[in-house]
């Protein structure tokens, strides 16, 4: 693999800006790697080589003329196949929308490309963003680049796999219950679910109007900070220069740290020591009872999804994969009273977190998943009766945060005995993504996990 593809997003942008590599050369190398690896990974559903190369050449001409589009000038990205681009197909991982051509463009894509990003194509996702594993009845499974027999995580499966495998330098995903954080955790990269409502959901496929949340995946927290600056107009990257000394991390006494696999607990204990050495103060905190939050989240997103899909459920039920159809039908069975009560309890649960543990610390430090990355075989449940339990076990530590609407960041915390990624998760206060990025950046600077690449 080309050394240039090992660069982070920020390093690649700097290399182009300094003339050490052209956008055309970098895009060409990325395309060649996609063509070589995608038959194994199934991360891309559409590689737009000709258009990407044409755009890269245009950006190189602008560079020679002394013009720069911005902090992503010439860097190749690709995005989950649910972000609309006017005049282009957006299949949403489905059979129903296989030929859907969007009439509008996502403002997030517009901002990234106005800053100079080159789009390489559309990435694999779970059907209609319903699935945390990377399985898709229509597209086949997206594989984990660390072990092709393991799941990539989902529903932003292609985003996680493509960034980890050095096919692109960053990608957009979406997170309704963990769909950015799970593929980031399982593929050994960084993923951020921003505060609910911080980034625009216009121009992207909807699943749950209350919980949908777009966000970035990349290979470092600095990369994530740059992408967030462009999409939100914030100053996340500049905040990384501030030391973390004196910041307070809270470790919940209950729920998150229960029933961890020994390998996960061991790596996270090492991560804790690294953060203490960086100057963070770590305290134990009590959190409100989280045991019902995942079920409450289901009472919100499943009826909202079912309402969106009701015309197709009536007219084209057999065009859904069995698992997705089963989950939508579950949403139809939820009463209006249960749905509204779950929405009301969400406000109370958030207030309890903000006045309780998050009033005492800058962020919470918790695992992303409780066990090693699962195999594809053990999670391929279809619509079997145990489907819900299997999926719930994977999203157990990510869905509560989506219900609360808080920001959450996942970054690698090492590798288990099988060489599979282990991740930590940071939970912050609303609109304090910069604090999470500062902590994660300080951790990443003191460890070498981000420099490890899968050998696929």
412-437 pLDDT per residue, tens: 999 999 999 999 999 999 999 999 99
Count the neighbouring beta carbons within 10 Å of the beta carbon of residue 291.
9
How many C-beta atoms lie closer than 10 Å to residue 99's C-beta? 8
Long-range pairs for 228-234: beta carbons < 8 A, 24 or more residues apart? 228/192, 228/194, 228/433, 228/437, 229/71, 230/70, 230/71, 230/72, 230/111, 230/112, 230/115, 231/108, 231/111, 231/112, 231/199, 232/194, 232/198, 232/199, 234/433, 234/434
Per-residue pLDDT averaged across 444-449, rounded?
96
Question: Is the per-residue pLDDT at 381 higher than 80?
Answer: no
Q: Which residue in 281, 239, 266 sits closest to 424, CA to CA?
A: 266
pLDDT for residue 375: 94
Q: What is the DSSP letter of 180?
A: T
40 in catalytic set: no
What confidence tens digit (pLDDT) does each residue in 2-28 have?
Answer: 899 999 999 999 999 999 999 999 999
Percent over 70 (pLDDT), the chain:
99
DSSP code of 149?
E
Q: What is the pLDDT of residue 388?
A: 76
The catalytic position among 23, 80, 208, 402 is: 80
Distance, in Å, from the CA atom of 176 to the CA atom of 206, rounded to the nearest integer, reads 10
Q: Which of 177, 148, 155 is nearest to 324 (CA)?
A: 155
Residue predicted with more confidence, 384 or 379: 379
> Could you tell me if residue 274 is left (phi over 0), alpha (psi between -120 and 50 degrees) or otherwise beta?
alpha
Question: pLDDT above 90 covers what percent of the chain?
Answer: 96
Q: Which one from 23, 94, 152, 155 is the annotated catalytic residue?
A: 155
pLDDT at 179 over 80: yes
Q: What is the pTM of this model?
A: 0.98
- To the query of whether residue 208 is one of the catalytic residues in this protein, the response is no
pLDDT by residue (tens digit) across 214-260?
999 999 999 999 999 999 999 999 999 999 999 999 999 999 999 99
Mean pLDDT, range 375-401, rounded to an integer: 86
Please say whether the beta carbons of 183 and 154 come within 8 A. Answer: yes
* Range name among 83-92, 153-162, 378-387 with the lowest pLDDT average: 378-387
* 389: helix, strand or coil: helix
- Average model confidence (pLDDT) across the chain: 97
Model confidence at 1: pLDDT above 80: no
pLDDT tens track for 303-355: 999 999 999 999 999 999 999 999 999 999 999 999 999 999 999 999 999 99
Q: Is 80 noted as a catalytic residue in this protein?
A: yes
Phi, psi of 422 (to 5 degrees): -120, 140
d(CA 138, CA 14): 39
Close Cβ partners of 433 (under 8 Å, ≥ 6 residues apart): 192, 194, 195, 198, 228, 234, 236, 407, 409
Any idea which residue has 């409100």 for tokens?
288
Detail the DSSP E strand segments found in 141-186.
143-144, 147-151, 170-174
Enumerate the H helices of 65-140 as residue ranges.
107-114
Residue 108 has pLDDT above 80, yes or no: yes
Which among 125, 121, 122, 149 is positioned nearest to 137, based on CA atoms? 125
Taking the CA atoms of the chain, what radius of gyration do you get in angstroms? Answer: 21
Q: Residue 383's pLDDT is what?
A: 65
Those residues whose C-beta lies under 8 Å from the C-beta of residue 177, and which sit 6 or more positions away, are 132, 211, 297, 301, 395, 398, 399, 402
Choice among 152, 159, 179, 220 that is catalytic? 179
């Amino acid at each position: 693999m080309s050394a240039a593809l090992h660069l982070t997003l920020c390093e690649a942008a700097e290399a182009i800006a300094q003339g050490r590599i052209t956008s055309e050369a970098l895009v060409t190398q990325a395309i060649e790697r996609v063509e070589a690896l995608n038959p194994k990974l199934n991360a891309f559903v559409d590689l737009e080589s000709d258009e990407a190369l044409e755009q890269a050449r245009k950006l190189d001409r602008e560079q020679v003329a002394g013009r720069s589009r911005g902090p992503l000038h010439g860097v190749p990205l690709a995005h989950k196949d649910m972000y609309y681009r006017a005049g282009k197909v957006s299949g949403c991982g489905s059979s129903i929308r296989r030929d859907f051509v969007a009439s509008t463009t996502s403002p997030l894509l517009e901002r990234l490309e106005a800053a100079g990003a080159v789009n390489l194509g559309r990435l694999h996702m779970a059907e209609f963003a319903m699935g945390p594993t990377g399985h898709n009845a229509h597209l086949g499974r997206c594989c984990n680049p660390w072990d092709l027999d393991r799941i990539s995580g989902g529903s932003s499966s292609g985003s996680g796999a493509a960034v980890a495998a050095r096919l692109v330098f960053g990608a957009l995903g979406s997170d309704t219950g963990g769909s950015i954080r799970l593929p980031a955790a399982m593929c050994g990269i960084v993923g951020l679910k921003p505060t609910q409502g911080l980034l625009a959901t216009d121009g992207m496929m909807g699943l749950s109007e209350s919980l949908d949340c777009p966000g970035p995946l990349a290979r470092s927290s600095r990369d994530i900070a740059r992408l967030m600056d462009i999409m939100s107009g914030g100053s996340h990257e500049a905040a990384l220069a501030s030391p973390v000394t004196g910041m307070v991390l809270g470790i919940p006494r209950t729920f998150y740290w229960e029933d961890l696999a020994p390998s996960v607990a061991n790596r996270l204990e090492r991560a804790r020591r690294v953060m203490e050495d960086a100057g963070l103060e770590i305290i134990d905190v009590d959190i409100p009872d989280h045991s019902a939050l995942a079920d409450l989240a289901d009472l919100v997103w499943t009826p909202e999804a079912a309402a969106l899909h009701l015309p197709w459920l009536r007219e084209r039920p057999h065009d859904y994969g069995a698992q997705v159809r089963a989950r939508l039908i579950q949403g139809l069975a939820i009463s209006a009273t249960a749905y509204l009560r779950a929405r009301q309890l969400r406000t109370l649960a958030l207030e309890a977190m903000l006045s309780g543990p998050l009033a005492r610390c800058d962020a919470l430090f918790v695992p992303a998943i409780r066990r090693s990355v699962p195999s594809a075989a053990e999670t391929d449940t279809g619509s079997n009766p145990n489907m819900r339990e299997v999926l719930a076990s994977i999203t157990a530590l990510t869905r509560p945060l989506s219900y609360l609407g808080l920001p959450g960041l996942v970054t690698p915390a090492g590798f288990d005995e099988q060489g599979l990624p282990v991740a930590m998760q940071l939970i912050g206060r609303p609109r304090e993504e910069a604090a999470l990025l500062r902590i994660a950046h300080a951790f990443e600077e003191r460890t070498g996990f981000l420099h490890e690449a899968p050998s696929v």
